[in-house]
């Protein structure tokens, strides 16, 4: 077994690799030079191959508590115990500061979980570690395989300490969100389309809601699964920021004095990396006044951490940003209203669709009372016909949006439509020649 391990290390050194100076396992350069040839050997032999990413849970926390030297000692201990538990031709490398990559020739993704169990047994008594496993399909490129392994690791970290996520070979799952999300984020492959918000009396456009769509997806494609998968995989923060950028950048052709409604998850809003200062930089880059931007927060999400949310909302408000509570279909808890102090409350589509029901109308009346109590304007979402528009107007809802006014469009398409309408109006109002 030792002889076979020496053989792998010899190949690695011949490929220009070296050992990581801290942990003495293979360095990242070894991994980068070995992965391609290992895939070629597996393809030639018709054998499976699996990669795994391992990360000791809360390594920065241990380093802070124990000082950097003891944090490094912990990584060194993990590496030495892991390497002693592997087969001769497995390859363990230090992939980044706190992550290790593991190459497992001739093993399927499911078989790799047995290796992980051996590694856990070898590190009994030490802190937990999270694992992402991706089985190779024999066709995908090395970078795509590593993207899936990274997605699997992030999913494990999102679920809690010491978890393992296994992604089988891609094949017909190649278009799954687990595969696509890391690629979307890395390539910034998000576009924005916009649904106008109308005054229900005069039907003038008073604002636009930005809707995120992965590049190449149809305008009417549902992306609910995209955001659910991002939450599972631990990419909510990165995807949310990418969507915010796309929303602001794509609105450059829209009227600057109209409100721009931007969906944001509470988890991302509370993130210390993409804070209000980052948002202000984005506003300056786009030349947009923060007072025109309205962050839409899901009413259920708002209850995650009300105390912290209160402070974050106050910081954004101090710079002029406004807030809306989205997807409201029942009375809004007073604690949420106190924390968010919404400028707008959006009535959920599932409620506006049932305006013929006495029960639904009673709920809308209750939401109207809540809005009056906190001084918020009401917006009815999902309006699909004139009857729903009349019902919302009669119930005291001022604004609305939905397919009854037209489908969402890009900023350029909306600007072109507005220009044509203005020209047509000018033509109609021009005096007739004598």
> pLDDT class for 174, splitting at 50, 70, 90?
very low
Residue 395's pLDDT is 94
Structure tokens at 6: 């020496």
If one counts every other C-beta atom within 10 angstroms of the C-beta of residue 174, the result is 14
Average pLDDT, the chain: 84
Lowest mean pLDDT among 94-103, 181-190, 191-200: 181-190
CA distances from 358 to 33, 118, 334 (A): 68, 62, 25
Closest CA to 254 of 226, 225, 219, 289: 289
**What is the predicted pLDDT for the residue at 344?**
97
Q: How confident is the model at residue 118 (pLDDT cuts 50, 70, 90)?
A: very high
For residue 171, the model assigns a pLDDT of: 40
Give the DSSP letter of residue 253: G
Name the one residue in this structure whose structure tokens are 């631990």.
234
Binned at pLDDT 50, 70 and 90, residue 178 comes out as low
CA torsion angle 89 57 96 68 (round to 10): -120
Residue-wise pLDDT tens digits, 380-411: 999 999 999 999 999 999 999 998 998 889 99
Cα–Cα distances (Å) from 49 to 12, 37, 39, 90, in that order, read: 18, 12, 7, 10
Q: Is the pLDDT of residue 184 over 80?
A: yes
Q: Quick one: DSSP state of residue 252?
A: G
Percent of the chain with pLDDT over 70: 85
How far apart (Å, rounded) are the C-alpha atoms in residues 386 and 380? 13
8-22, 68-82, 129-143: segment of lowest average pLDDT: 8-22
- The maximal CA–CA distance of the chain, rounded, in angstroms, is 102
Give the span between the Cα atoms of 412 and 193, in whole angstroms. 9
pLDDT in tens, 266-325: 888 888 778 899 999 999 999 999 999 999 998 888 777 788 899 999 999 999 999 999
Q: Out of 147-151, 176-180, 308-312, pick the least confident.
A: 176-180
β-pair type (205-214, 129-135):
unpaired
CA distance 130 to 151: 12
Residue whose C-alpha is closest to residue 341's, from 372, 313, 312, 301 = 313
Give percent above pLDDT 90 in the chain: 47
Give the domains, in start order, of the chain with CATH numbers.
2-174 (3.30.70.270), 181-423 (3.20.20.450)
Residue 218 pLDDT grade (very low, low, confident, very high; cuts 50, 70, 90): low
Instruction: Provide mean pLDDT across the span 85-100.
Output: 91
Q: Could you read off the pLDDT of 30-70 as tens digits, one per residue?
A: 999 999 999 999 999 999 999 999 999 875 555 455 555 67
């Amino acid at each position: 077994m030792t002889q076979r391990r020496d053989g792998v290390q010899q190949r690695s050194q011949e490929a220009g690799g070296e050992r990581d100076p801290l942990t003495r396992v293979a360095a990242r350069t070894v991994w980068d030079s070995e992965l391609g040839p290992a895939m070629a050997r597996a393809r030639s032999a018709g054998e499976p191959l699996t990669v795994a990413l391992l990360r000791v849970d809360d390594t920065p926390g241990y380093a802070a508590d124990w000082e950097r030297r003891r944090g490094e000692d912990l990584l060194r201990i993990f590496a030495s115990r892991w390497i002693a538990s592997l087969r001769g031709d497995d390859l363990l490398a230090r992939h980044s500061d706190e992550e290790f990559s593991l190459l497992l020739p001739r093993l399927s993704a499911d078989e790799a979980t047995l290796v992980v169990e051996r590694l856990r047994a070898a590190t009994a008594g030490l802190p937990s570690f999270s694992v992402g496993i991706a089985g190779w399909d024999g066709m995908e490129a090395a970078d795509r395989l590593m993207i899936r392994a990274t997605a699997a690791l992030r999913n494990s970290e999102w679920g809690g300490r010491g978890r393992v996520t296994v992604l089988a070979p891609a094949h017909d799952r190649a278009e799954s969100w687990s595969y696509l999300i890391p690629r979307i984020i890395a390539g910034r492959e998000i576009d924005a389309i916009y649904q106008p918000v109308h005054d229900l009396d005069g039907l003038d456009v008073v604002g636009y809601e930005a809707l995120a769509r992965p590049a190449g997806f149809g305008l009417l494609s549902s992306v609910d699964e995209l955001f659910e998968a991002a939450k599972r995989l631990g990419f909510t923060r990165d995807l949310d920021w990418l969507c915010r950028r796309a929303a602001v950048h794509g609105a450059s052709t829209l009227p600057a004095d109209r409100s721009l409604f931007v969906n944001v998850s509470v988890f991302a809003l509370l993130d210390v990396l993409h804070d209000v200062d980052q948002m202000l930089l984005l506003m300056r880059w786009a030349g947009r006044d923060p007072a025109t931007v309205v962050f839409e927060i899901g009413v259920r999400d708002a209850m995650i951490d009300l105390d912290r949310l209160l402070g974050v909302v106050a910081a954004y408000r101090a710079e002029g940003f406004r807030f809306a509570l989205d997807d409201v279909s029942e009375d809004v808890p007073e604690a949420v209203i106190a924390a968010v102090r919404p400028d707008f409350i959006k009535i959920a589509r599932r409620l506006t669709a049932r305006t013929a029901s006495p029960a639904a109308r009673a709920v809308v009346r209750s939401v109207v009372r809540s809005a009056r109590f906190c001084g918020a304007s009401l917006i009815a979402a999902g309006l699909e016909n004139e009857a729903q528009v009349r019902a919302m107007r009669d119930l005291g809802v001022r604004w609305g949006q939905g397919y009854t006014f037209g489908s969402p469009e890009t900023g350029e398409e909306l600007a072109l439509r507005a220009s044509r309408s203005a020209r047509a109006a000018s033509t109609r109002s021009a005096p007739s020649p004598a």
